A = this chain, B = another copy of it.
Amino acid sequence: MDPATSALLTDLYQLNMMQAYLDRGETKTASFEFFVRKLPSQRGFLIAAGLEQVLEFLSHLRFAPEELDWLARTGRFGRDLIDYLADLRFAGDIHAMPEGTVFFADEPILRVTAPLPQAQLVETRVINLLQFQSMIAAKAARMVLAAPGKRLVDFGLRRAHGAEAGLLAARASYIAGFAGTATVLADQLFGIPIFGTMAHSYVQMHDDEAEAFENFARARPKNLTLLIDTYDTEAAARKVVALAPRLRAAGISVGGVRLDSGDLIALSKKVRRILDEGGLGAVTIFASGGIDENSIATMLRAGAPIDGFGIGSSLTTSSDAPGLDCAYKLEEYAGLPRRKRSAGKATWPGCKQVWRRFASDGRMAGDILSVEDDDRPGEPLIELVMRAGKPLEPRPTLDQIRTRAARELERLPEPLRRLEPDASYPVEVSEALRRLAAEVDGRMAQAQEAKR
């Protein structure tokens, strides 16, 4: 059983609410929007990602016969709900920002418009998919911005939170500009370039490190990168130099060396010197082990001659901000806009659009959040991507999404590109949206009054 495709991968309250909706025939059209309430303090922007997986989830959403039987056996639900679930095929519309688009707090990146019980049911997985990939893409983009011209590779599967997290982190980081990943399945499923050579265990199983290098080089001569920190990094670099002529005679060239521990700034400089003096100026240095965008920036500022980075935990867990304060909220039901007014969690009502303005140099200059049928200057970011349960063709390819993200990063205002900690971006809430919120509040007050 694949948990990722099970219709039971949802919160119990969704099914409870569906039962309550059906009991009163509340199956009219609802619109829910997904947005981030507040950016993590360490993030100046986010990158929309995960839409493709949402569309796939919605397209294939089915309750399997054994799931329906199980639900019936729990005794929690009426026959009407079980029958409704048996027939359920997602038939709604989806509006969304294209994957790879930069976005900010309060800006919806996805809207679901569907019969209320359907739109309700999908909440849990829609949030689960969008928040994770958008969060990882944003974290990866920070690393890309911190390491211009360097090769970044996702090494994070082992520390990712489960199988799907590892796989989708490879996708999200590739979108943000990583060169690829170590995760083999990400190549098979998504066509993402994969990288990887040797671990410490390969060196350890030999009694002699130089012999390990030579055996590995002969077995795997292409794109050869040797891991040189198992015992003594500088000594190992000298072994690589000593070994190179014999390998060259066999037609094998060392592509690079990898450092995975110790003071990477000092070691990379020493290793660079040893390699250069040994005539291995073309051999690159790749670093891994506990790296994030801050340590990359520190290393590069200190002149560490590192050509690429393998990044694990900090990337696949977004370690400094492993969750986004995000929500999927009812904005309209049966033709009437809605909002909640909970302390600190009030929402803007109605179906919305985001317009983005650009300065004359092409950089993003500011966004306006307004009601969908407003007409504002700038580029509208939200578009129809699924109609009546069918994704609109053609869908962008992963490389098109990646190209879009690269262009977006280029168009960021300079303080955001430089990852300045206090860099902010103007997102204006339109007069029309404020008016709509006041109207909704007025309508609610009247309904309340009428009840008394």
B-chain residues with CB within 8 Å of residue A316 when the two chains form the complex: 161
Contact B8 A184 (CB under 8 A): yes
B-chain residues with CB within 8 Å of residue A330 when the two chains form the complex: 200-201, 204-205
Output the least CB separation between A90 and chain B (Å): 17
Contact A313 B323 (CB under 8 A): yes
Contacting A11 at CB < 8 Å: which of B12, B196, B260?
B196
Let me know if A418 is at the binding interface, CB within 8 A. Answer: no
CB within 8 Å of B: which A19-71 residues: 19-20, 23-24, 26, 30, 32, 67, 70
Contact B207 A443 (CB under 8 A): yes
> Which of A243-251, A333-341, A384-392 faces chain B?
A333-341
> Which of A342-350, A367-375, A393-401 faces chain B?
A342-350
Contact A341 B205 (CB under 8 A): no
B-chain residues with CB within 8 Å of residue A323 when the two chains form the complex: 159, 313-314, 317, 319
Copy number in this complex?
A: 2
Contact B4 A164 (CB under 8 A): yes
CB within 8 Å of B: which A62-121 residues: 67, 70, 74, 76, 116, 120
CB within 8 Å of B: which A112-169 residues: 116, 120, 123-125, 127-129, 131-132, 155, 157-169
Let me know if A295 is at the binding interface, CB within 8 A. Answer: no
Contacting A342 at CB < 8 Å: which of B163, B187, B198, B260?
B260
> Which of A279-287, A298-306, A444-452 faces chain B?
A444-452
> Once bound together, how far apart are the Cα atoms of A339 and B231, in whole Å?
9
Decide yes or no: A219 and B20 within 8 Å by CB, A11-B158, A157-B9, A198-B13 being known contacts.
yes
B-chain residues with CB within 8 Å of residue A197 when the two chains form the complex: 13, 16
B-chain residues with CB within 8 Å of residue A157 when the two chains form the complex: 9-11, 124, 128
Contacting A19 at CB < 8 Å: which of B219, B317, B448?
B219
> Once bound together, how far apart are the Cα atoms of A219 and B157, in whole Å?
44
> Which of A208-216, A270-278, A357-365, A428-436 faces chain B?
A208-216
> Once bound together, how far apart are the Cα atoms of A123 and B184, in whole Å?
14
Query: Looking at A132, A318, A326, A329, which has the most chain B CB atoms within 10 Å of its CB?
Result: A132
Contact A128 B340 (CB under 8 A): no
Let me know if A413 is at the binding interface, CB within 8 A. Answer: no
Output the least CB separation between A123 and chain B (Å): 7
B-chain residues with CB within 8 Å of residue A168 when the two chains form the complex: 162
Decide yes or no: A262 and B162 within 8 Å by CB, A157-B128, A185-B8, A451-B210 being known contacts.
no
Contact B13 A261 (CB under 8 A): no
Instruction: Pull 20 A–B residue pairs with CB atoms less than 8 Å apart, ordered by A.
Output: A2-B2, A3-B189, A8-B188, A9-B163, A9-B183, A10-B157, A10-B183, A13-B196, A20-B219, A67-B188, A123-B199, A128-B158, A161-B322, A203-B340, A204-B329, A204-B340, A205-B330, A231-B341, A261-B342, A263-B343
> Other CB < 8 Å A-B pairs besides A13-B182, A17-B199, 15 of them?
A2-B2, A3-B4, A8-B184, A10-B183, A13-B199, A14-B199, A23-B219, A67-B188, A125-B163, A127-B159, A159-B324, A201-B330, A210-B451, A230-B341, A231-B342
